[in-house]
Structure 1
Amino acid sequence: MSCAPACAAKLVETRASRLAALAARERFRLRSARLARRAAQREAARRVPVAPGPTPALPPAAAAALQRALAKAKRD
């Protein structure tokens, strides 16, 4: 069963339009998945607790001054 050239052209045009719409839908789906994955990665990075390293109770200069004062107090 064949149709007139105008009918065949309309079928080709409709098919091309449909394929373009399907491709656009697939691109949108991939973009949405990519954005969701990036958002999840950012959220996971935000939630990673930063383990504080051992911090000295006093700054080095204050600790040295305290040590000197303790040593002087023990001598006296």
Structure 2
Amino acid sequence: MVAALREDDLDHAIDLGLLDDIACLQCNADCTQALAQARDARRNALAARERYRDRTLRLARLQRERDAQRKPVTAPTGAPALPAAAAAALERAKARAAQRKD
């Protein structure tokens, strides 16, 4: 495992048990500490990657929800429907215009 770490071959070190608890009878205290630091750093990196993936999925879901809310509602004739407040304002404006003509 130490040789794999020296060669910067993290995949091989993980296959050899880097992420597991370190119980090597041949290692001295410095070696065990170095392996523990490498294990903790890799666990932190994997956790960060998982958080990043979760965040990316969450942001994509929120964007889809926002896009769905922003879609204009189309009237049966194919013309975009106005929101209720805009339709009411348009009707009031039409009524005022009609009163002026009379």
Residues 1:31 and 2:55 are matched in the alignment: yes
* TM-score normalised by the chain length of structure 1: 0.66
TM-score (structure 2 length as normaliser): 0.51
Alpha-carbon shift at residue 46 of structure 1 (Å): 1.1
Aligned residue pairs: how many?
Answer: 66
Q: For 2:28 and 2:97, how far apart are their aligned partners in 1? A: 95
Quote the residue 1:9 is aligned against.
33
Higher helix share: 1
Measured after TM superposition, the shift of residue 61 of structure 1 is: 7.5
User: Which ranges in structure 2 are unaligned for 5 or more consecutive residues?
Assistant: 1-23, 74-79
- Listed as ranges, the gaps of 5+ residues in structure 1 are 67-76
Q: Closer, same or farther in 2 for the Cα pair 1:13/1:36, shift >3 Å?
A: same
Corresponding letter in the other structure for 1:9: Q
Q: Per-residue CA shift, 1:7-63, capped at 9, x if unaligned? A: 10011001100110011001100110011001101110111417456958x516836
Higher relative contact order (CA 8 A, sep 6+): 2
